[in-house]
Amino acid sequence: MSRETSALKTAQITYLAFAAIMAAWIGAWLLKINLEQDLSWLTAGLGSFVYWTAAKLIIWIVPAVWLLRKAGRSFREVFGLANWPAWAAWGGGIGLLIALTGIIPNLLQGKAVLPTRLDFALLNVLVIAPTFEELLMRGAIQGNLTECYSLAKANVITSLMFVLLHVPGWYFMGVLTQNLTNPAGGALSIFLVSLGFGYAAHRSRSVMGGVLAHFLNNLF
């Protein structure tokens, strides 16, 4: 099998895997809604955190690991921890540039720049979401697609998928229309910051570049 044929097959498998992930993610939302009718502790706090962390491990991380193996890439290669100067520079630089879009308005309006409350929701926003989402989207999906396409094309496709990954949550929380039509903080903003995460991961040759940029964006 030629390199081009192998890369195309990897891209096709990646698309099919993402479709399955989306179907399972919708199922996770439906399951939680049904479980909440009898298990009220799932609605918030620790219960909700445990449910969604477990769901993400099963629905996002397991397929991500499988996709990495199909592409013949190791965790060591994907995380590239030895490249810490590169991912610290690219992830930190791009993350801070993106964060300025939140820092500056908050300062001008006299609002707090940093989170003022420590809870499970904050743990999800600052740790679980950046790590899990970047491993799936940048580590597995974008990494696979760049074997077949240019960085620009792979990054755009991955970022569109990143927006789609948020759609079920928006729908079940009743904010889908708002996020699709509001340019600030909605789908367009998520697409644009995703491009930044993807570029940081690629330039640093480490998914940690995307994780750090994602963390800083969420922090501010």
In the chain, where the domains are located: 3-219
Q: Which is nearest to 193 in space by CA: 173, 170, 210?
A: 210
Tokens standing for residue 111: 């609002």
From first to last of the 220 residues of the chain, give the pLDDT tens digit. 677 888 899 999 999 999 999 999 999 999 999 999 999 999 989 999 999 999 999 999 999 999 999 999 999 999 999 999 999 999 999 999 999 999 999 999 999 999 988 999 999 999 999 999 999 999 999 999 999 999 999 999 999 999 999 999 999 999 999 999 987 789 999 999 999 999 999 999 999 999 999 999 999 9
Give one word for 72, left, alpha or beta, with left for phi > 0 and alpha for psi -120 to 50. Answer: left
Separation between Cα atoms, residue 97 and residue 90, nearest integer Å: 11
